[in-house]
Structure 1
Amino acid sequence: MNRKPSRLVLLSLEIGVPLLLIAAYALWAAPRNDLYFPPLDVILTRFVADWFGPRFFSDIVPSLRRMGTGYAIALVIGVSAGVLLGLSRRTRLAVLPIVDFFRALPPSTLLPLTMIVLGVDDSAKVTLIAMVCLFPILLNTIAGVSSIDPTLRETADVFGITRRNQLLHMVLPGALPAIFAGARTAMSLAIIMMVISEFVAATNGIGFAIWTARRSFDISAMWAGILVLGCLGYGLNLLFEALERRVLAWHHAARQKSE
């Protein structure tokens, strides 16, 4: 009989492995006196000094605002358009080639375009984040909606269930696991594009701070900024997992029963 690992074991692995990697870096970097790989205590000192103070409001808050706005725009457009395309096969066949074309473009190539069209203010950065985050949400929503058994919709029509109730109580709940999968991927892309957009023509933000430290050869400050990004990504992932467990509790329970 296969026994699943306990929650305590999983939590120990989740916490223990990163701690082991951090300890390994500390032991490796301490005696080297390497300019590009400063000792861990130097990085942590800069991390606390730089980011637990005024820089939290001058750099972290603007970055989160840009990322959150772009992500929210992508989420609204991606889910709305994905439901529409998932329900209509003809519309899906007409639009998907265009979606696939723009999805194939490397995200970094969109940066000059947004700067030319929208300038260098926050609107260009938000637009870039939204454009890159849109595709995984859109495609996963289409896949989730189109995978719903047509027999269910036909049965709902026979019983006179309105299209609105079908959408709210059958289509969207059935597509939610796929939507959350796309939203999780989009969140990682949002962090990446937030940093890339702040590398160019920015006056604040986490990406701007890292790029400025790199240009001034302040390597410990650069590593401190990278550590901020790692903590930010990990924290957002924990929040996303908590939300997913709450919203998709019925889905996880059904999977556990089937295993």
Structure 2
Amino acid sequence: MNGACPVRSAHGAARRALVRLVYALALPAVLVAVWWLASDGSTNVYWPPLRTVLRTFPDVWTAERLRGDVRPSLLRLLGGYTAAAVAGVALGTVIGSYRRVRAVCEPVLEFLRAVPPPVLVPVIMLFAGIGDTMKVVVIASGCVWPVLLNTVEGVRALDPVMAETARSYGITGVSRLRAVVLPSAGPQIFAGLRQALSIGIILMVVSEMFAASNGLGFAIVQFQRGFAVPDMWTGILVLGLLGFVLSVLFRIVERRVLGWYHGLRASTRRSS
């Protein structure tokens, strides 16, 4: 009897994972089918049939092109996203922890957040040049705001009872930050990181359209300028696949880091 429970639990977990997989793939499969049927027989040079795009895909995205265009884009995205995550969490923790600092910084933050990052590309080029540094700075300048603002809100929402309990036990300084503040703000921080990831992918492409010699954005623009329309569409597909893969990886990391939070939510739903 005792051995049957783990078996049933494993079967239940496998069934739930299969259901989640079906839900995740159902809409993409429908969209691909609609695209296939809608473009089938198309003679529009700008709207080639999906089968033509898929047939072109392996010829365009060879291992050499993946190394030459996709890898540099990923490295720039990683650099800008990491810088934004570190700066956003650090500054957001400080601003959220001190009311006076928040009162001074809030108007400036609201102003800077309202400036679209692509508008800053020409300005950043003046100071950072046209190399990889410029592209990393552009990505970081857009990704930092959702991380910073969500961190501020997460730190501000710290449970007063929890804060008072930590103070009563003498948990202060770095120990309080690591054991109380950051775990409590963790769900909000990861919400900002998720938003920043999608913004980072967009800015990665935008930054590579300015004075670049490689990268996904550069490749797509080159295909468009050369009227290689099916090749251009394959680049867009690569971007979509890249975004999907990064989103799945992010979700895995989030589930691992915030396992206690998701477990608490699941138990709350079951009890209600």
Report the TM-score, using the length of structure 2 for normalisation. 0.90
Query: Which has the bigger relative contact order, CA under 8 A and spacing at least 6?
Result: 1
Question: Could you tell me how far apart the structure 2 residues matched to 1:255 and 1:210 are?
Answer: 42
Counterpart pick for 1:248 among 244, 253, 258 = 258
Counterpart pick for 1:148 among 152, 158, 174 = 158
When the two chains are superposed, the root-mean-square deviation of aligned CA atoms in Å is 1.3
Question: Could you tell me how far apart the structure 2 residues matched to 1:208 and 1:32 are?
Answer: 27
| Equivalence for 2:81 | 71
* Aligned pairs (5 A) from 1:30-179: 30-179=40-189
1:68 CA drift (Å) = 0.5
Gaps of 5+ in 1: none
Runs of 4+ in 1 over 3 A off after TM superposition: 5-10
The one-letter code sitting in structure 1 at the alignment partner of 2:264 is A
* Aligned pairs (5 A) from 1:204-215: 204-215=214-225
| Equivalence for 2:25 | 15
Checking the alignment, whether the CA contact within 8 Å between 2:166 and 2:180 is kept in structure 1 is no
Question: Could you tell me how far apart the structure 2 residues matched to 1:81 and 1:169 are?
Answer: 18
1:20 CA drift (Å) = 1.7
Question: Could you tell me how far apart the structure 1 residues matched to 2:96 and 2:228 are?
Answer: 50
Question: Could you tell me how far apart the structure 1 residues matched to 2:163 and 2:33 are?
Answer: 56
CA gap 1:159/1:10 in 2 versus in 1, 3 angstroms: closer
The one-letter code sitting in structure 2 at the alignment partner of 1:84 is V
Q: Percent identity?
A: 44
> Residue 199 of structure 1: SS of its match in structure 2?
coil
> Residue 110 of structure 2: SS of its match in structure 1?
helix
Equivalenced residue count is 255
The one-letter code sitting in structure 2 at the alignment partner of 1:42 is T
Quick check: 25-34 or 179-188, which moved more? 25-34
1:51 CA drift (Å) = 1.3
1:6 CA drift (Å) = 5.0
1:151 CA drift (Å) = 3.2
Question: Could you tell me how far apart the structure 2 residues matched to 1:236 and 1:128 are?
Answer: 19
Deviations 1:50-93 (A, max 9, x none): 11321011000000011100000001100111111111111011
Question: Could you tell me how far apart the structure 2 residues matched to 1:60 and 1:207 are?
Answer: 10
> Residue 235 of structure 1: SS of its match in structure 2?
helix
* Aligned pairs (5 A) from 1:206-225: 206-225=216-235
> Residue 208 of structure 2: SS of its match in structure 1?
helix
> Residue 28 of structure 1: SS of its match in structure 2?
helix
The one-letter code sitting in structure 2 at the alignment partner of 1:12 is V
1:7 CA drift (Å) = 4.6
Question: Could you tell me how far apart the structure 2 residues matched to 1:197 and 1:224 are?
Answer: 20
Checking the alignment, whether the CA contact within 8 Å between 2:130 and 2:212 is kept in structure 1 is yes
